[in-house]
Structure formats: C-alpha cells, structure tokens
Amino acid sequence: MAHPDTHPLDAGLHVLSTRLRTGELTAADLAQAMLDRIADRNGGAPSYDGAPDAVNAWAHLDPDATLRQAAAADRRIAAGDASPLCGIPIGVKDLFAVAGQPLTASSRVLDSEPAPHDSAPWAALAAAGAVYAGHTHTHEFAAGGTTDQVGNPWNLAHSAGGSSGGAGAAVAAGMVPAAIGTDTAGSVRIPAALCGVSAFKPSYHRVPMDGVIPLSPTLDHVGPIAPTLADCAVLVTALSAAPATRDPWGVFGGPAIAQPERVTLAGARIAITSRADRAEVDDDVRAGYERMRDLARDLGAELVELPAPDDLPAADYDTILIAEARTYHAQHRDRLDRYRASVRAFVDPDAAPLPVDAYLRAQGRRRAVTARWDAWFREHRIDALLEPTSAIPAPLRGTGYDAGKPAGGTDPLTVFTATWNVTGFPVAAMPAGVGARSGLPVGVSLIGAPDTDARLLALGIALQDAAPPPGRDVDSARQGATA
C-alpha cells in the first residue's frame, strides 16, 4: 500500500480503489486532490490553443460536478458498493457526451451547449461509480495524431500524440488515474507510447460508440489510457458492459470482457515479424522494442519469427477514413472557416466525392486482409504479436494542424497502429523504457486475435510486471519547453 506521504494520485488505480473501500481515503478527498494537482500541473485553465509552457491536457473542467459526483460515490461506498471504479476520477476525451457538460471535439465548429444524454461508454463508467474528472483535449475532431494544443509532460516542446493527446498527457502528468479515448488509427496507443503510459484497444465490436462523435465509424474504437495495463483492464471490463442502442451494423455487444487472470509468459507463443523493418524505426524505439522482445523470451515466452500477411494498401485505408469522415462533417459545411487548417482540408465537403463503388471495393479488400490475419494467428497458434507502437518518439509540437499534414495510416506515428483498426484486433500498448538519445518514452504493443481481449491483457500485464512504466519529472518538462 502507498506510503501515507505519497500523493493519492501516485498510488495507482488498484491501490486507490482499496483505500476507498477501507475508508482510508474518501472519494471527495481524492477528487479535491485531483483538482489541486490539475491546478498545479496543467499550466493554467483549459485553453483552446495551449501554450509552449503548459501541458493543457484539459478542454473543460467542472469542479462542482466532480465534487458532487465524488460525494455521491462516498455514499455508494458507505452503502457497500464494491465496484473497483466507484469514487475513481476518470478523464473523458472531448468526443464523449456527458450529460450536462459541453461537447466540442476541441473545436470552434461546435457550440458549447450541454449534452442532453450520456454517451454509452461514459454511462457504463458512471454506472460503475466513476467520477467525471473533466473533458480532455483531442486533436480537433480526432482527425490527426499530434494534438498540438497539448504539451508532452516529459518535455513540453514535444507532442503528446493523438488524437487522444489530452488523455495521454493528463495520465502521464499524474493529473488523473485514468482516461478514456477513441482510436481510429492508433489514437489511444500513440499517446500512451509518446507519454510513457499504457493503453488498450479492445476488439472492434466490444465497446459501443453511442453518443461519441465519430471520425470513421467502421475504424473507430473506444479504449482506456492509464499508467498500467492492470489499470486499463478495470476500465475495459466496465466499458465492454455498455449496451448499444443505436448500432447500425449489428455487431456491438456480447458479454463483457472479463477481468484477466494472472498468468505467466511461460509457453506463450509470441510472434516476431518483419513489419518492424518496413518503416524507418527510430533507434530509441528499436532499442526499446528489442529490450521488451528479449524480456519476453527471458520470462519464458516462445518467440516465433514469421512472415506477416500484407497490409491493406494505404489508399484503401484512406478511402474508408475520408469517405466516412466527410459524410459526418457535411453537416458543418457552413462552418468550414472555424476548422483548423489541416482538418478543414481533410473534411472539405466541396472536395470531389469518393465513388461508392471505390469505398465498397476498399471495404472488400479490408475484409480479405482481416481474414488473412485471422487465419495467420490460428494457423501458427500465436498468442500475441509483438511490435513497436510508434516508429518514432514524440516529435516536436507546433505543426500538426498545418495544411497538408497526413491523417491516415502512412505517417511514422500510425505506420504500425492503423493495421489493427483495419482488422479490429485487440491491442495492449505499454511503455518500453526511455530513449537514450531522445530522453523520451518509447512503447511496444502486443496484438491478439479477435476476441482474445482478456487473454491478451493477461499476457501484457505479465510482461509489464517485469518492466514497470518509467517515471517522469514534470518540472524538468517545463524547463525543456523553455530551453
């Protein structure tokens, strides 16, 4: 258990849950400690543009609502509520509707009107007793991987990644125990890798998107960001229990993902492929990947070197992404001047339309790629595939909203991650240390076959137990931004 002098938010979700259950800590005190730390570490009030010397992880805070919900959680705990999330503050990406709170997608396109209803993911967490911590910044409408209005807590001159950059930064800066985000090409996994924390992207159909602003509905996933995969597992169990009420494809639902059992890596078949050689992988990233690969072997995993199936061509990925995104954004064509430059070009409803047959052919090739990967996992009896999460550590921030920036699956941030949105397979992303050259975190991912979420989490937790997430110094990050 944490030392009494340790700040509550440094204790970890499982320890916090225990302290709340035993009465050592109240949810109200935890919420106030969180609000105080946000005031100390965010770098000022939430800002649309951010500042070079600020983390600026938050798009919106409502301390009164947070404290009211914390008081309600204390009453639930006193009445015997045993939910591990009861009283735990959770950050919410600014794409998830929370009743009574504004929903803006970190954009000036949307009005700041209170949402009338909870999104399905937040409703599931609230039903488990989670406390609303605030909305975290997204790359505008999730249409990019940098979230440049947010600074990386490791070095504020660098990007926190995206599109769930605010969530990754808030967790990495110790401002909140965990957060939820969306992932269309790597948007929870990339911030986790760049900020030195963990994330989990469930299988495609396991968490509904009701009430969540979409980017590309057939590629979008919902997942948690937290210091460890064990923390992520608690949120995944609750999120996957959310009912879907407006599911046009009829795929969301099924039983909740069970809490993973404790396992070892002994005998697990971990695949290593040449995918890491297809991109220009930074030396720091490669060193972290090789370190985790060797650690898996030392822990008893059987490493299996295999050729990988071909990926979906980037043009097909972009066809699916752009067609679906522009369909949603057509409703805002009279507000194009309010978008940031790169997003305006991406969603431009006046661009030449993509033919329906081109979209359907791309989806057909996507199904074929998914089937090949599914067969590959089964044929070779693979428990997980290990690879880097991002090909580079956190890049410098400041140009991610410039016109012409890529938003698809070809840039070094998404070159590995986008494949698993195409297939919808589960991914556990975790830190792999700090780069000797960059001084920034790097990360790796374990990918599993579809619907092996609990097993994949168990393997990831076993690997992470031997390689805990790195610590970081917030004051040093501030100095780095002004150096």
Residues in the chain, how many? 483
Measured at the CA of 216, the angle between CA 393 and CA 131, to 5 degrees, comes to 70
Task: Write the secondary structure of 410-453 as one string of H (helix), E (strand) and C (coil).
Answer: CCCCCCCCHHHHHHCCCEEEEEEEECCCCCCEEEEEEECCCCCH
What pLDDT does residue 476 have?
47
- Residue 482 pLDDT class (50, 70, 90 cuts): very low
Q: How far apart are the first and last CA of the chain?
A: 38
Q: 101 is written with which tokens?
A: 């709170």
What pLDDT does residue 449 have?
97
The strand pairing partners of 135, in sequence order, are: 60, 92
Q: What is the DSSP letter of 365?
A: H
Q: Mean pLDDT in the chain? A: 93
User: What is the percentage of the chain residues whose pLDDT exceeds 90?
Assistant: 86
**What is the C-alpha to C-alpha distance for residues 150 and 80, in angstroms, rounded to an integer?**
39
**What is the C-alpha to C-alpha distance for residues 23 and 8, in angstroms, rounded to an integer?**
13
pLDDT at 475 over 60: no
User: Is residue 50 within 8 Å of 148, Cβ to Cβ?
Assistant: yes
Mean pLDDT of 98-119: 96
Q: What is the pLDDT of residues 260-280, one digit of tens each?
A: 999 999 999 999 999 988 778
Q: 81 is written with which tokens?
A: 């509520």
User: Is residue 455 within 8 Å of 383, Cβ to Cβ?
Assistant: yes
Q: What is the DSSP letter of 173?
A: T
Q: What is the DSSP letter of 110?
A: S
Q: What is the pLDDT of residues 37-85, one digit of tens each?
A: 999 999 999 999 999 999 999 999 999 999 999 999 999 999 999 999 9
Q: What is the pLDDT of residues 399-421, one digit of tens each?
A: 899 987 655 445 899 999 999 99
What pLDDT does residue 409 have?
46
What pLDDT does residue 278 have?
72
Instruction: Please identify which of the residues 17, 159, 163, 203 carries the catalytic annotation.
Output: 163
What pLDDT does residue 407 have?
52
Question: Could you identify the residue written with the tokens 């009283």?
Answer: 87
Instruction: Please identify which of the residues 17, 93, 119, 203 carries the catalytic annotation.
Output: 93
What pLDDT does residue 1 have?
38
User: Is residue 124 within 8 Å of 242, Cβ to Cβ?
Assistant: yes
Q: 296 is written with which tokens?
A: 């898996």
What pLDDT does residue 247 have?
66
pLDDT at 6 over 90: no
Instruction: Please identify which of the residues 187, 203, 342, 390 carries the catalytic annotation.
Output: 187
**What is the C-alpha to C-alpha distance for residues 389 and 229, in angstroms, rounded to an integer?**
15
pLDDT at 22 over 50: yes
Q: Is the pTM of this model over 0.85?
A: yes
What pLDDT does residue 353 have?
83
The strand pairing partners of 201, in sequence order, are: 427
User: What is the percentage of the chain residues whose pLDDT exceeds 70?
Assistant: 94
Which string of DSSP letters, residue by residue, matches 280-339? ---HHHHHHHHHHHHHHHHTT-EEEE-PPPPPPPHHHHHHHHHHHHHHHHGGGGGGGGGS
Question: Could you identify the residue written with the tokens 């407006």?
Answer: 246
- Residue 483 pLDDT class (50, 70, 90 cuts): very low
Hey, is 49 helix, strand or coil? coil
- Whether 187 sits among the annotated catalytic residues: the reply is yes
Q: What structural domains and CATH numbers belong to the chain? A: 8-482 (3.90.1300.10)
Closest CA to 321 of 220, 216, 423, 415: 216
Hey, is 362 helix, strand or coil? helix
**What is the C-alpha to C-alpha distance for residues 434 and 95, in angstroms, rounded to an integer?**
30
**What is the C-alpha to C-alpha distance for residues 398 and 385, in angstroms, rounded to an integer?**
34
163 upstream amide cis, omega within 30 of 0: yes
**What is the C-alpha to C-alpha distance for residues 432 and 405, in angstroms, rounded to an integer?**
27
**What is the C-alpha to C-alpha distance for residues 246 and 224, in angstroms, rounded to an integer?**
22
pLDDT at 307 over 60: yes
pLDDT at 3 over 90: no
- Residue 252 pLDDT class (50, 70, 90 cuts): low
> What phi, psi does 107 have (nearest 5°)?
-135, 155
- Residue 253 pLDDT class (50, 70, 90 cuts): low
The strand pairing partners of 295, in sequence order, are: none
What pLDDT does residue 411 have?
87
What pLDDT does residue 25 have?
97
- 226 Cβ partners below 8 Å, 6+ apart? 13, 171, 177, 178, 179, 197, 198, 199, 232, 235
